[in-house]
Every structure is written in structure tokens, then in C-alpha cells.
Amino acid sequence: MRLFSRLPIPFSVWMKLRQCSYWPFRGLSHNPERAAKAAKIAPPSQVYAIFFTPRSGSSRLTDILGQTDQLGRPGECYNPAHVKPNARAHGVNTLETYVDRMHRTRKIGDLMGFEITYDHLKMNFGTEARFDALVAPSRLIWLIREDIVLQAVSVSRMRQTKIGHDTGLTADERAKGDAAFTYDALDIRNRLQAIRWREVQTEAYLARSSAPLLRLSYETLSDLGPMQIAQWLAHHLGQDLPDDLSFKEAHRKLGTDKNLAFAERFRAENPRLMARIEAERAPMLAALPRIVPQEAN
């Protein structure tokens, strides 16, 4: 299985891809009873994939889509942390049967969606060709963050504080997390390079795919309400949503003024690096839609 491209791979990503212990189906057995039950469920007529990078707002996006009860349950079923528990729960012991089981049991209506990072694709499928053959996504969504430095700072913060989301933190818990967060230029640089590697790899994959693509950004979605977001995604997926949907916004931003200050400091300390990355990312950012479709207004 060839895991690596010719592009330099950041050490943190390299270590993840080289996890020799990642054999999610080892020791698992096939469950005929569950297989027979799943076989009675028709496969979805449409599968969509949300490609994302860490700290780009994917949790809020997928939470909103799930609340529609119409646009699938686009969780991280291909996240290596979830594959083995899911496989054990569903009684499958091969990647092929795992994909089939996820598609049948996680669909809503005729639609199944999931979110995935490029390194998760590589760890599970080895090649893009195998991913396309087994998963065959008919629609693609690509979620990025326009400010990659703030994104890297956010990843660094999450790694230090062990807090990934605020769906109910107390004021004291938020304050303790903020106090524990310190400036680490090397870590921010490493996180930035890992994000950028995922962007480059994902862009190359999307350029080779013929599936319709919707580009989104954290910043654009932050300015929209849940209904606008749901309608925009529904339009891309060829679905019609009722106008009377209600949503519960569970996610709050974790970042504080400290994030902004650390990002500004990092930019000031690394002008040549930032100039190169900004030039590289310019075409990708220019391709983002700047006008929300009428259907999402």
C-alpha cells in the first residue's frame, strides 16, 4: 500500500500515516445475523463527502445538517478512532463490508453523507482510486479556513488544553482553558504545515474528481445562520428542505483574544513563510463562492 506522495509530509502527519498498529479489522469476526439485517436496507442512491481540515468548523456544519433529518448524518465514520468500534458494533471484518454497512445504516432516506480528512482517506483506503471505487461519492464538499494561521493556533490550543469544542463549558472551565494556553511558535508552525499538506493533497484529489464540488469556508459559514447553511447544502445535494425547520446551536467559539494575539505574533515572526503560503493559497481562496445562492437566503 503506497501511503505517500512526492510532496514533503509534515512529521506529525507522517507519524499518523505510519501507524503500523492501525489494522482496524484485525481480530474482528463477521456477524451473519447483522449482515442479513443490514442487507434488507437498500443502499443510498447518493453519497456525499465533506472534506475538511482540523478546526475549520466541520462539527458545527455536520451538526446542522444532521438536525434537518433529511441531509444524512455526516459524522466521521472513517476517522481511524471510530472505525474499529463501529466495525465491532456492526459485526464486520473487512473494509468493503464496513463501507457497505455504513452506507446502508447511516443513510437518511436515499442520502448518506460523511466527513473525512485526506489523511483519514489514506489511512483507511491507501489510494484515492480505492476510495473512489468503494465509496463512490457523487457530491463533494470542501471546507477550509481562510485564515490558516488562526486555524493553526486553534489546533495548538486544542492540543494544549485538551478542549476541542464548547457545547456547554462553564465560565470557569473556559477561563481555565484560556489560562492554560501558551504561545508555542514551533507547534503553531508544525500545525500550519500539517494543515497546508492536507490542503494541497485534497485540492489535487478534487481536481481529478468529476463529482460536483461545493467549496465552503469557516469564515463564510460563521456569518450564516443554521437555516441558511442547511439550505445551501441542500441545494448542492439536490434536496428541498421545508421552510419551518428549527435548529439548536450547540457550538460556541473557543477562541479568545489570545488566539488573535498569538496569530498576529506568529505572522510578524515569520514573514517569509507567510508570504509563500499566502501566495500558494491564493488560487484556492479565490475559488471560494462569495455570494450565497438565492436558495439559502
Asked if the model's pLDDT at residue 2 lies above 50, the reply is no
**Does the residue 11 lie in any domain?**
no
**Does the residue 25 lie in any domain?**
no
> Which pLDDT score, from 0 to 100, does residue 250 have?
72
C-beta contacts of 208-211 below 8 A and 24+ residues apart:
208/128, 209/132, 209/140, 211/137, 211/138, 211/139, 211/140
The CATH number covering residue 164 comes to: 3.40.50.300
**Does the residue 9 lie in any domain?**
no
The domain of 57 spans 30-239+251-291
Give the tens place of pLDDT for each residue, 36-73. 999 999 999 999 999 999 999 999 999 999 999 999 99
Q: Largest alpha-carbon pair distance within the chain?
A: 61
> Which pLDDT score, from 0 to 100, does residue 257 have?
86
Give the tens place of pLDDT for each residue, 257-283. 899 999 999 999 999 999 999 999 999
Give the tens place of pLDDT for each residue, 70-95. 999 999 999 999 999 999 999 999 99
pLDDT, mean over the chain: 89
Q: Using DSSP, state whether 48 is helix, strand or coil.
A: strand
Residues with Cβ within 8 Å of residue 71, at least 6 apart in sequence? 65, 108, 111, 113, 230, 233, 234, 237, 239, 241
pLDDT band at 294 (very low <50, low <70, confident <90, very high): low
Residues with Cβ within 8 Å of residue 151, at least 6 apart in sequence? 53, 54, 55, 56, 145, 191, 192, 195, 218
Number of separate domains in the chain: 1
E strand map for 45-132:
46-52, 111-116
Residue 90 contacts residue 38 (beta carbons within 8 Å): yes
pTM of the model: 0.88
CA 191-196-197 angle, 5° bins? 100
pLDDT band at 5 (very low <50, low <70, confident <90, very high): very low
Task: Give the residue-averaged pLDDT of 210-215.
Answer: 98
pLDDT band at 3 (very low <50, low <70, confident <90, very high): very low
**Does the residue 21 lie in any domain?**
no
Higher pLDDT, 78 or 243: 78
- b/e map of 114-135 (b: 16 or more CB within 10 Å)? bbbbbbbbbbbbeebeebbeeb
| Whole-number Å distance between alpha carbons of 160 and 155 | 9
Residues with Cβ within 8 Å of residue 168, at least 6 apart in sequence? 250
**Does the residue 283 lie in any domain?**
yes
Q: If we measure between CA atoms, which residue out of 192, 196, 184, 173 comes closest to residue 258?
A: 184
Asked if the model's pLDDT at residue 4 lies above 50, the reply is no
Give the tens place of pLDDT for each residue, 96-112. 999 999 999 999 999 99
